[in-house]
Each structure stands twice: as C-alpha cells, then as structure tokens.
Amino acid sequence: MKRIVILGVTIALTIASCTKDEVTNVNLREDSVIGFELSTGKTRAYVNDINKLEADATGFGVYATNKLIPELFIDNSSYKYNSTANVWLWNGKKIFWPENEEDYPINFYAYYPKAVTILGYSLKHPYEIAEDPKFQLDLLAANQLNVVARPELDNVPLYFKHILSKIDFKVVTSEDVTVEVQSIAIRNVGNAGTFNYSNLEWYEAPTQFNSDYSYMKAPVVPENIFAGTKNPTDVTGSGGSFMLMPQDLSERGWNMKIATLAQQSYIEVVYRMYETETGKDIVGFTDAEDHPNYKEIGSKVEGSLFVKVGYPLPTEWLMNKAYNYVIYLDGSSSGGTLIDENFIDEEGEDTDLPVVDPETGEPIEPEEPIFTDKPIGFYVTVAEWANENKNLK
C-alpha cells in the first residue's frame, strides 16, 4: 500500500452556533502535521462548542475514505487538544497526505462526542435518545467531501453541525399572579433514527412515536416559581436542554381528546396559580383541605394541588435548530387543556379530588381549557440553533 502523507495541514473547525461567532486562534505544532483555526459561537452550558471539544480528553472522531483504498483510509481516529502545548494532535500515529494524484479524492468525516458508535465504512450512525435528559448528548457532525488535492493553503475545513433538535421551555405570567410549575413533559414522540455522514442528514426517521421525555418532575423547585414574569423566563430543567430526534410531528398534534391522547404528540404541564399579593387560588389549591369535596371524599391528600394540562404539538423538529416553547400562564390565556379529571399532589401523583374552580367550586371537565373563554394560541418562529419561540397560550 502506498504511504499516505499529510504535510502542513490545517483543518478549519467550525461549529454551527447560537449567536455571533467568536474566533480562537490556536498555534500550530512545530512539525505542522495538522493544526486548527477554530471558530465557534457562544452557547448554553449544556450545548457543545469548541471549548467543550478542547476540554474533552478523548477529542473528536475522524473517518476518511479515498479513491483507491477500499477500506477506510482513516478509521475512527481521535483528534484531541493538548492544553499544555496549546495544539491539536492525532491521538496515535500521524496521518499524512497522499503523494500521488491517483489517490484522490479524499472524503473526511468527523463527529463528537467520541463515545458514540458509527458503523465503519457504511458511515451510518444508528442512535437512540436517552430517556433521562441528563444523559442526552448534543451530537456534532461534519464532513468535507471530494478533496481532490492537497489544499494550497493546507486548509481542510470542518464545519460541525448539531444533528439533533434542542428543546427548552419558558414561562410568561402577569404582574399580579404567581405560578408554580411542577413538571413539564413531551409525550409520544420518536426516539431513534440513523444518521448518514455522507450527506449529514437523518435518512431513517422515527417510525415509532411512543417515547416520553420529562424536562423536570415533582416536587416544585424554587427556580420554577414564577411571579410577575411578563417576559419569557427560562424553566429550569432537571437535566438541561432536551436533545431530541429531528422528526415531523405535523400530523400528530390534534385536539387533546382524552380517548386519543396515546396517538397524539403533545406537551404536558403540571402547575398551579395564585394571586401574588393575596395568595388567593386561581388554578389549583395551596392547601388540599380547601377543596370543597375534601371532607366528603375523605381524601388523605396533604399540601398543594396542581392541574395537569396539555398543548398539542403539530410541528416539525429539524436538526441544528433550537426550539423554545413559551407557556403563557398569566391568568388571561387558556392555561392549557385539562387532560386529567383529578388534581395532582405535591409529589406528582394523582389524587381522588376532582379539578374544580377554586372560586366557584364548579368542576372543570377534561378536554376543556382551564380558562374557558380564551382560545389556545400556538406561535412559531424559526432560527438557526438559536431560539425558535413557540408560544403556548
């Protein structure tokens, strides 16, 4: 086999980012085998960027194919950052540019984190989303195809993209109300697919839509008590942002009918609401004993009572996109459609106390908006791995 020689190569590494790019210049190693000119964006703590790549001792993985060698020219080699020398290095033997023209073109493929598995020469990446958001990975992928000769400036650009969809939630209230958000979940979405590094696309989309993801669970934490937040305010997730499979849910967000919930994709929110100044209950109860049927039913529930509502999810999630779902819980919007006839207790468990209006004691039937005279609103905007606001009213 011909000796493959790479001399004086620089790979320009870029990550598709949230905001304006910032550039970090890294000195080349003395022998100039491979170096980097890094460009990245400012991202949230849970999202991968160039700083995360530099800090990871395993680096990122590299595959490559070329014209004459049937097997992989580069087979899952690791490229990592040496913080002491301020350089990027091959983790193992150096890999060199081909000397002969007939060895070209070369196709380069890269991915991060290195812990994931790619099926060798097929360049397929079957992937399943972890149920717990703490273990969901922000996957990055890049390729540079048809490099027909050693570049004149020894520059091989790798432009990394986030290949999943990032999901977060925000809450809006009004000046005079306080909202306690106990839990948020996404129900009945796809959790698996296969990624193709040849064209950087998912070419096997989810076919099963039966996975649930909990952004945060009971009990309520202080960070998720919102008072007078007129501007969209971040909900604190227990595991950071959701990193979910890109998928088309446009035909799966319906009308929140209880009988067909298992076939629908929707967002589930458990919350309660009260007047900030007086403490008067608006949605749910501060004390379960204030429920008009408490003694009659003989309930043993203690503490506060919450309602469980749903918002339909007729949308399409695209890779490299971030989606912020803005939930309007201000006492004037719909407050969501009731999807559980009974209140939820402080531990997130169903009770035997039916959902009623705290002021009148009148029951609120499942499939009704919490505020029945207000329609449900759904607002969508699109942005590149920045913020896509979806208003849930």
Is the whole-model pTM more than 0.75? Answer: yes
Whether the predicted pLDDT of 308 surpasses 60: yes
For 270, the token pair is 């458990």
Alpha carbons 13 and 29: distance in angstroms, whole number: 16
Cis, bond preceding 113 (omega within 30 deg of 0): yes
Q: In this predicted structure, which of 22-26, 50-54, 287-291, 371-375 has the lowest mean pLDDT?
A: 22-26
Q: Per-residue pLDDT tens for 223-260? A: 999 998 888 899 988 888 899 999 999 888 888 899 99
Instruction: Give the chain's length.
Output: 393
Whether the predicted pLDDT of 214 surpasses 50: yes
Beta bridge partners of 108: 64, 144
Q: Per-residue pLDDT tens for 180-208? A: 999 999 999 999 999 999 899 998 778 88
Integer CA distances (angstroms), 120 to 60, 64, 160, 393, in order: 15, 10, 20, 47
Q: What is the pLDDT averaged over residues 122-138?
A: 89
How sure is the predictor about 32, in pLDDT bands with cuts at 50, 70 and 90? very low
Of the chain, the percentage scoring pLDDT greater than 90 comes to 38
- For the chain, the maximum distance between any two Cα atoms, rounded to a whole number of angstroms, is 88
Q: Per-residue pLDDT tens for 161-172? A: 899 999 989 898
Alpha carbons 314 and 249: distance in angstroms, whole number: 5
Q: What is the pLDDT averaged over residues 139-161?
A: 81
Q: What is the pLDDT averaged over residues 358-380?
A: 70
**Average predicted confidence (pLDDT) for the chain:** 79
Q: Which amino acid is at 235?
A: V
How sure is the predictor about 274, in pLDDT bands with cuts at 50, 70 and 90? very high
Q: Per-residue pLDDT tens for 92-119? A: 777 777 778 888 888 889 888 887 777 7
Residue 235 is predicted with a pLDDT of 92
Alpha carbons 126 and 39: distance in angstroms, whole number: 28
Q: What is the 3-state secondary structure (H, E, C) of the chain?
A: CCCEECCCEEEEEEECCCCCEEEEECCCCCCCCEEEEEEEECCCCCCCCHHHHHHCCCCEEEEEEECCCCCCCEEEEEEEEECCCCEEEECCCCCECECCHHHCCEEEEEEECCCCCCCHHHCEEEEECCCCHHHCCCCEEEEEEEECCCCCCCECCEEEEECCEEEEEEEECCCCEEEEEEEEEEEEECCEEEEECCCCEEEECCCCCCEEEEEECCCCCHHHEEECCCCCEECCCECECEEECCEECCCCCCCCCHHHHHHCCEEEEEEEEEECCCCCEEECECCHHHCCCHHHHCCCCCCCEEEEEEEECCCEECCCEEEEEEEECCCCCCCCEECCCEEECCCCCEEEEECECCCCCCECCCCCECCCCCCCCEEECCCECCCCEEEEC
How sure is the predictor about 309, in pLDDT bands with cuts at 50, 70 and 90? very high
How sure is the predictor about 385, in pLDDT bands with cuts at 50, 70 and 90? low
How sure is the predictor about 18, in pLDDT bands with cuts at 50, 70 and 90? very low
Does residue 105 or residue 1 have the better pLDDT? Answer: 105
Q: In this predicted structure, which of 83-87, 105-109, 336-340 has the lowest mean pLDDT?
A: 83-87
Q: For 393, what's the count of Cα atoms within 13 Å in the CB-facing half-sphere?
A: 13
Question: In this structure, are residues 42 and 19 in contact, taking their beta carbons and an 8 Å threshold?
Answer: yes
